[in-house]
Structure 1
C-alpha cells in the first residue's frame, strides 16, 4: 500500500472523531474558522475564480464524475476484480474529499446558530404565523400595485438575468450581523441538468462559487441568487440562508427584488400554516392579489415541467447530506426560516 493511501485512510477516522469534538465547541468555529480563516480563504478563491466567466466548480464536478466512471469501467474490464484495491482507493478518495470539503467550507455547519447571535427566539405559536403571514401578504400586495396596473396581472420582470445578478451583488446586505466575505454570482453551466434534478442553485464547497440555475423563472432567480450568496458569507444552514436572502431582498432599493423576497416568504408561511390549520391558511391566502398567485403558479409549473423519476432519489440523497451535516430536519429545514422571519419582524415592530 502506498504511503499516500496509508495517510489518507488513517486521516478518515481522525476527521470523523474531530467533527464529533467540534460539534460541542461552536465558539472555536466562530472565532477561528468562520470569522478569521474562512473569510481569508474565500478572498483567495475569489481572486482566482471571480473574473473567469464560467463556473470552475461545475467543471470540477464534471471531471470528478468522469474520473469515477472511468475507474468503474476499468474495474469491470479486468478479468479479476481486486476488492482490496477498490476499498483502499475508495476510502482514500473519500478521506480526501471530506478533508477538502470541511477545510474549505463545511466547518461552517458547526458555528453558533444565527438566531443565537441575533438573540432571536425562534419558537412561535400559530397566532404568530397568522399575524406575520398577513403582514407579508399586505407588503406583497402593496408592491404588486406599484409594479402592475391591475391586481389580476402577474409581475413581469424586464431585466435580464445578468442584470439581476449585478443588482443583487451591488446591494447584497445583511447588516444585522457582521460577515466579512463579499459574495458574487455565477450561472451554472448545467442549468437544464439542475432543473431535472430539482435544484435552483448551489454553493460549490470546493471552489466557493455560488452557482445559480439560469433556467428558472426570474422571480426565483432573484431569491435563489441571494440564497446562494448567503452561503458564501459562511452561512451553512439552509433556514439561515433563506432568512438572509429574504432580508437582503426586502431591504434592496429595487421593488422587483423586494417583491421576490416577500413572495418567497409567503410560500413558506402558507405551507407552515397549512400543515397546522389548512382552512385558516386558505382563508388568509385569499387576501393575496390574483396576479401574485399567477407568479407563484408560474414557478410551480416550471418545476412540474421538469419532474422525473430520478428527482426523488436525488432529493433523498440531498436530505441525507443535510442531516449528516447537523440539519436534523433535512430538506424540511428550508421551512424553518419561518421562525427567523417572525422573530425579525416582531423585533422590527418594537
Structure 2
C-alpha cells in the first residue's frame, strides 16, 4: 500500500468515526429516543452479555483490561513521541494527529454505547413516582430525626450478627434487588457480576469505595472498607450495572434496595449512609440543629462513625484528592453539573419519600388538645 493510499484510507476511517460519534451524540440529545432504543432496547442485551462473560472469572477482569489499555496507550504515546523526535516532518505529525483522534473517537463510542448513553435517559425518580421538591431547614431536621432513630434501631438489631462474607454480600444484594423488582422493573438485575477490587490498598488510597467498569459490566467493591458499609456500596454499584448512571440516582436505588432487605445488616448500612448524607447537608448549611441531632446518635453507631473516619484517615493522600478532582470533572462532562457533590442529592429523594408522612405526624404531635 502506497503512502497516499494509506493516508486516504486513514482519512476515510476518521470520517466514518466522526460521523458515528456525531450520530451517537445527537442520539443522546433526545431522552425519549435513548429510553426507547437504548434503555429499552440494546443496553440490557449489552449489559447481560458483558456480565455473562465476566461473571465466571474469579478476579476483576475489568481491572486487568484497564491496566492493559493504559499500558498500551502509554507505549503508543511514547513510541509516537520518539518518532516525532526522530522525524519532525509534516507527514509524521499528521499520522500522529490522525491516530490520536481515531483512538479518542473509538474510546468515546465504546463508552457511550457500552454504558454512557444511560446519562441521557429519563430521570430514574420519575419511574419511581417521586418528585424533586426542595425542603426547608425545619423539614431537613424532621427527616434527620426519623433517619437517626431508624439507624439507632437497626444497629441494635444488627449488632449481634456477624459480618457478611463476600458470598453473603452478593446473595443478599441480589435477593434484595429481586424483591424490589416485584415492585418496579427498574430494579431488574440478572447475571450478577460483582467482584472485589484487585487492590484494596490502591483503591483506598484513591478514596474509592467501589466502581463500575463499562468494558466488562463488572461492579467492583472495595472490600477493605469497614464491613458495615459494604451492603450499601454493593447495592449502589449494582444500580450502575442496571443502567443507572447518575450518582444520586444510584444512591437512591442502592438505598431503597438495601433498606427494604430482610437482612438487618443491609437495612443498617442504608440508614447509616442516609444519616451521613443528612448530617453533612446540615453541616454544609451551618444548621444549628446539626449538633442537636448528632448528640442523639447511639454509642454503637457513633463507634461506626469513628471506625470509618479512622479508616479513611490512614489513607489520606494527594492521590485521593487528585482522584476526587478527576472524578468530579468526569461527572460534570456527563451532565452532572454538581460533579462529585451530586452524591449529596440523595437527601432530596429521602425527603420526598418520607416527608409527607413525617409532616403529617409532626402536625398531629403539635396539635393542641381540645
What TM-score, normalized by structure 2, do the two folds share?
0.86
SS of structure 2 residue aligned to 1:278: coil
Say which of 215, 218, 243 aligns to 1:234. 243
**Which moves more between the two structures, 241-250 or 183-192?**
183-192
Bigger-Rg structure (1/2): 2
Counterparts of 2:9 and 2:167, CA distance in 1: 44
CA distance in 2, matches of 1:84, 1:156: 64
1:317 CA displacement: 1.5
Q: Deviations over 1:248-294 (max 9, x none)?
A: 11111111111011000101011112222332112112111122121
* Greater displacement, 320-329 / 273-282: 273-282
Give the aligned partner of residue 113 of structure 1.
Answer: 123
Shift of 1:38: 1.0
Give the CA deviation at 1:41. Answer: 1.5
- Residue 77 of structure 1 deviates from its aligned partner by 4.0
The aligned counterpart of 2:106 is 96
Gaps of 5+ in 2: 1-5, 361-370
Whether the 8 Å CA contact 1:211–1:228 is kept in 2: the answer is: yes
Q: Does 1:143 align with 2:147?
A: no
Whether 1:345 aligns to 2:351 is no
1:129 and 2:140 aligned:
yes
Residue 185 of structure 2: aligned partner: 178
Helix, strand or coil at the partner of 1:198: coil
Whether the 8 Å CA contact 2:176–2:258 is kept in 1: the answer is: no
What residue in structure 1 maps to residue 51 of structure 2?
46
Corresponding position: 1:87 with 2:97: yes
Distance 1:203 1:4 in 2: 36
CA shift in 2, pair 1:334/1:11, >3 Å: farther
Superimposed CA distance per residue, residues 188-221 of structure 1 (whole angstroms, 9 cap, x where no aligned partner): 2132221111111111011111111122111222
Match of 1:165 in 2: 170
Higher mean displacement: 81-90 or 274-283? 81-90
Q: Quote the offset at 1:15 in angstroms.
A: 5.0
RMSD: 2.2
Q: How many residues align?
A: 344
Q: Which residue of 1 aligns with 2:269?
A: 260
Distance in 2, Cα, partners of 1:315 & 1:99? 25
- The whole-number CA distance in structure 1 between the counterparts of 2:53 and 2:12 is 29
What are the within-5 Å matches in structure 2 for residues 1-350 of structure 1? Answer: 1=6, 5-11=10-16, 13-14=18-19, 17-18=22-23, 20-78=25-83, 79-80=86-87, 82-125=92-135, 126-148=137-159, 157-173=162-178, 174-175=180-181, 177-179=184-186, 180-182=188-190, 183-346=192-355
Report SS of the residue matched to 1:288. coil
Cα distance in structure 2, aligned partners of 1:187 and 1:7: 42
Contact 1:109 1:325 in 2 (8 A): yes
**SS of 2:211's equivalent?**
strand
Relative to structure 2, which stretch is displaced further, 234-243 or 307-316? 307-316
CA deviation vs aligned residue, 1:160-212 (integer Å, no higher than 9, x gap): 23332232223225445313442441112132221111111111011111111
Q: Is the 8 A contact 2:144 2:279 kept in 1?
A: yes
Deviation at 1:341, TM superposition (A): 1.4
**Distance apart, 1:107 and its partner CA:** 0.5
Instruction: Give the 3-state SS of the residue equivalent to 1:186 in structure 2.
Output: strand
Deviation at 1:225, TM superposition (A): 0.8
Partner of 1:152: none
